[in-house]
Structure 1
């Protein structure tokens, strides 16, 4: 197999009659391997610059949280622990279809845009979750069409750097399934959501995860249980069952599990901080919480 070569011109040789003639030795070959290595080095420097930039601005992103900390939950007695289901009970997750390899980072002028997708059944609180984070402001609304809502959360850091989270909310009914490919393509994170008070919506999260992975195998998966404020009113035995099942599903999807409430802004901002920290290897971590009666965080 012949390797394609690129050439750079050098000065042609002179002859006794003063004429210059073409020569097979007047061009120096540059192999495709050398060119590829150069491009890789350039790309690596760009990635380092982006990561260093986010290390500088991360401390300012932390100030965006408005979640309250004084919450009262129904708790079991101290020392109460909850074992995870046996490994044999974990459902098998099948990734089918071709992978869409993407960076999910879009640079428009001085705006760094990150696409995030919300998937799950109807009426589980996806839109309320998005509005709680973004704010119900008309100018923040993007594309609105049947079965698909888009909203932007924009941060201006010291008047110099602008970061935009572009959130795609798929309605969740059968008529909206056609929006899943475009919603998942190029996303950096996919949030699979369910209603903590509705077991059937939890049972469907594996199907939503498989639909998402068909179009995007690189996005960060996060499993989110909504309506935590209603969930804590359920009998403790039912809470135990739902928490255990959600942890099993999160483990099967290799996803981080969060329980949240848009009404009381529980873990809403924290989820987006977690996404940013994961994307850019920032020095911020979230603590695991497995206490029944409190908003679960598991990974």
Structure 2
């Protein structure tokens, strides 16, 4: 969603999902990004929690991110279609100390692609987060695997992140917002082109009807 509040000044509101298996650090990531806080012990998210982040993107643009921190419990997965609706982008999080959560992240990405998409049918921008990187170093072979997975599964990119040590949190978010803005602009351009084509077709039809 976007609109002009002042001449030459634009404001955008984007819904961003934060998804992944339970205990991978989704809430810690969001709280570090939004409030620059880290808490060692957090209760698991049940259902969904909401956070707002306001970004002065540049002198002419304000971006509001509505972050949906979605619980990873299996029993609430049936609500995901409702939670995903209207999303503009997503962080898909896994825990580098727990390899099974990477498979879980890929399942979340598949579910995301099935339940929400852009107007042209393409997947919404999604970034893979290899979280808790302060606890273990990702080897070079793993890096190559993650690069390949991003290409195969349609992620726009991936980052090693740590909410505890504040590693790449802002960088990953800026990367996603940049792609959301690009996607939003491309969508608006497509809409303008469609309107222009329709007007041209209507003009041609009217010309034929009025000719003798």
Aligned to 1:227: 132
Contact map agreement 2:9 2:60 (CA 8 A) in 1: no
State the alpha-carbon separation in 1 of the partners of residues 142 and 58 from structure 2: 43
Aligned to 2:111: 211
* RMSD, aligned CA: 3.2
Contact map agreement 2:3 2:12 (CA 8 A) in 1: no
Aligned to 1:168: 68
Per the normalisation by structure 2, the TM-score is: 0.68
CA shift at 1:162, angstroms? 4.9
Is residue 2:185 matched to residue 1:185? no
Is residue 2:157 matched to residue 1:279? no
Aligned to 1:132: 32
Q: Which segments of 5 or more consecutive residues in structure 1 lack a partner in the other structure?
A: 1-45, 55-110, 138-144, 233-237, 283-299
**1:174-229 deviation line (CA, Å, top 9, x unaligned):** 01202321222111111111001111001222211111111112310211110011
SS of equivalent to 2:28: helix
SS of equivalent to 1:212: helix
Change (3 A) 1:53 1:253: farther
Alignment length (residue pairs):
168
Q: Which segments of 5 or more consecutive residues in structure 2 lack a partner in the other structure?
A: 38-44, 119-123, 184-212
Per the normalisation by structure 1, the TM-score is: 0.49
State the alpha-carbon separation in 1 of the partners of residues 107 and 58 from structure 2: 42
CA shift at 1:166, angstroms? 0.3
Aligned to 1:263: 164
Q: Which runs of 4+ in 1 moved over 4 A?
A: 46-50, 156-162
State the alpha-carbon separation in 2 of the partners of residues 131 and 176 from structure 1: 22
SS of equivalent to 1:182: helix
